[in-house]
Amino acid sequence: MIREIVIYGDPVLRAKGKRLEKIDDEIRVLAADMLETMYEANGVGLAAQQVGTALQLTVIDVSNAESRPSRMWLGGEEVDPNEHMPLILINPELQLDHEQEIGTEGCLSFPEITAEIPRAAKVKVKAQDLEGNQIEFEAAGLLARAVQHENDHLNGILFIDRMSSAAKASLAGKLKRLAAESKAP
């Protein structure tokens, strides 16, 4: 089922997600709905907060983003990330590389807004999958950026928080409009 994507201005986007202690059918349905919602909106990632639920759950699929390559390593060995999509990450923990890259980001909760955002070039991820199994991988490229962006959502951090003050100032009018629209009845 496609769910409504929460737009900037809704307080749930600033909520830190609750850690999932058990993975039940309700969570599996939520994850499936999130994937369907993300695909419908042509996104590469979606956090539970973006569908109105503050949980440590995100879905990611970078397999259709050929213009922005991704790299992935499992157990130190490089693999084709597309063979591991979609990713459903529960209670993710990230270890960020010190090297940074600046890249363009958008967000389904910020329609038509993009900005150049600095992120770690590489990231190590530990999380659980829908079966409760521990998964670990390393990522670079768009996958690393998507994981960091979605993990920020799980902690109530938005990509506008990582923009330069000049970028934020230039978007102030659009952001104010979005926030006002999200509060409109």
Catalytic amino acids?
A: 150
The token pair that represents 19 in the structure block: 């850690």
Return d(Cα 46, Cα 55) in angstroms, integer: 12
From 48, 22, 44, select the one nearest 34 (Cα to Cα).
Answer: 48
Residue 117 has phi, psi (to 5 degrees) of -125, 130
- Detail the DSSP E strand segments found in the chain: 45-47, 57-60, 70-74, 77-79, 87-96, 100-107, 110-120, 122-128, 134-141
Place of tokens 């039940």: 24
Residue 99 has phi, psi (to 5 degrees) of -70, 135
Sign, CA dihedral 133-39-41-182, equals negative
